[in-house]
Amino acid sequence: MGRGRQRSKRGRDGQRRRFAANSTVLELEIERLGGRGDGLAEAEIKVGYAEETRPVFVPFALPGERVRVRPVADRGEGVACELIELVQPSPERIDPACAHFMACGGCAVQHLSDAAYRGWKRDQVVQHLRRVGLGDVPVAELHPAAPRTRRRADFVLRRIGAKLIAGFHERASNRIVELSECPVLLPEIFALLQPLRSLFEPVLKPGEGVDCVVNALDNGLDLLLRLPAHPGLGFRESLAAFAETRDLARISYLAGDETLTDAVPLAERRRPEIRFGGTPVTPPPGAFLQATRDGEAAIQNCVREGVGEARTVLDLYAGCGTLCLSLEDAAERVAVEGDDSLLAAIRSGADAAGLGTRLRTERRDLTQRPFAGKELERFEAVVLDPPRAGAREQCVALAASAVPRVVYVSCNPATFARDARALADGGYNVTGVTPIDQFLWTPHVELVATFERTGR
């Protein structure tokens, strides 16, 4: 069998093929940085008796670097490789900020210079727009994220034999990296890790684990624990004492496979609050928040500019009210969300702020029942902040509407580009996109895009 471009990616029974540990080491030059932060190149890979030209993915390698790698496993149409040796480094390579880099799964590109890093993140947005024929859309420079500003963490504690490990998951693994530092998190969040270890050291059995979700609110830390089972009275008292000692705003828990709606507050030392605009909101335990305060403010500013002087605004996927409550000058706002606890937080905050009928709430699954037709007629602007899957159905409905302005907040440039194409095909002009970094040294990039109706 000769050399070719056949794609025999799967082995017997369709299983993902892994290469032998003694596979031939390849030397190659990295061409570009991929969307996950891996270096990309093409190489001749020996598969059985054949050689195939395949894309290869090399973690921690940068464009222009000469590297020696070993194939590990199939990854889509390509092959994931292990970096064996850095033969010729890139001038953009710098020393990483954290001793756990390359083991901890939290960061992918701490070794990339700041200017190259910002360009790479912005370029992800540009490339996705180009793929759907929107390459001429103006994309602003990246709004950067600073170290030690992340206000949410998901710590993992697990007893492995006699030892309790506390930290984050390793890259592409269920193993846990025991952290001694984290240059990404707010210091007060990282400072909670070792006390959590001490709290659970006497109670976790071998194989048991606890997930700890920490949100930094405006008046303290909000801690949600996912426990193996419901705690007894004695440990409940220990948890309440922990909240007092660590000055937590609130501590709550889930047991086993319970969902967020089942979270039970164990101690609320003060009403947990986060302000959107001038409105204080109490989010439910473990609620989604924008990852940094600065990033949140940048998104809110872009949304306010995009909405402009609209007198009626529809906020879809409203969450806790991050966007609708920051639109202080809007005459009328309708916040739509599929989660009752999030809507209750918005409603409570709006009532306390005296917003009355100027802000209404509605529970709706927007995937199953998007706003469409006559429902959209009275709105001068629509704001949407969907999950990573995007808002395909809702954007199809908007494309058929006469809404003058749409402001789209996205955490996934790929699904955003798909939805932007639908809006553009419906007669909207994409007036600008602002990429916003909230997940420093990761591949994740968020954005705010504004659309204006033309020709209708």
- For residue 50, being part of any structural domain is answered with yes
The answer to whether residues 356 and 320 belong to one domain is yes
pLDDT band at 204 (very low <50, low <70, confident <90, very high): very high
Are 423 and 327 members of one domain? yes
Q: Which domain holds residue 28?
A: 12-88
Q: What is the pTM assigned to this prediction? A: 0.92
Do 133 and 208 have their domain in common?
no
Q: Which segment of 53-57, 87-91, 394-398, 451-455 scores lowest on mean pLDDT?
A: 451-455
Tokens of 42: 């093409």
Instruction: Answer yes or no: is 285 within a domain.
Output: no
368 shares a domain with 306: yes
Q: Provide DSSP, 153-208.
A: EEEEEEEETTEEEEEEEBTTSS-EEE-S--SSB-HHHHTTHHHHHHHHTTTPPTT-
Structure tokens at 68: 């020696």
55 with 71, same domain? yes
**Residue 308 C-alpha from the chain's centroid:** 27
**pLDDT tens by residue, 111-120:** 999 999 999 9
The span from the CA of 296 to the CA of 307, in Å, is: 16
Q: What pLDDT, on the 0 to 100 scale, is given for residue 10?
A: 45
3-state secondary structure of 13: helix
Rounded CA separation 370/16 (Å): 38
pLDDT digits (tens, 9 = 90+) for 418-433: 999 999 999 999 999 9
CATH number reported for the structural domain that contains residue 38 in this entry: 2.40.50.140
Pair 182, 98: CB distance under 8 Å: yes
Residue 201 sits in a domain whose CATH number is 2.40.50.1070
Output the domain CATH number for residue 332. Answer: 3.40.50.150
Catalytic residue among 302, 320, 395, 411: 411
The answer on 204 and 64 residing in a single domain is: no
pLDDT digits (tens, 9 = 90+) for 286-331: 999 999 999 999 999 999 999 999 999 999 999 999 999 999 777 7
Known active-site residue 320:
no
Do 140 and 157 belong together in one domain?
no
Sign of CA dihedral 361, 362, 365, 367: negative
444 and 410 both lie in a single domain? yes
- Mark whether 257 and 328 lie in a shared domain: no
183 and 262 housed in the same domain: yes
Would 93 be classed as within a structural domain? no
Residue from 384, 404, 415 nearest 453 by CA: 404
The domain tally of the chain equals: 3
The pLDDT tens digits for 124-179 are: 999 999 999 999 999 999 999 999 999 999 999 999 988 999 999 888 788 899 99
pLDDT band at 16 (very low <50, low <70, confident <90, very high): low
Do 316 and 351 sit in the same domain of this protein?
Answer: yes
| 201 and 248, same domain (yes or no) | yes
240 or 262: which leads in pLDDT: 240
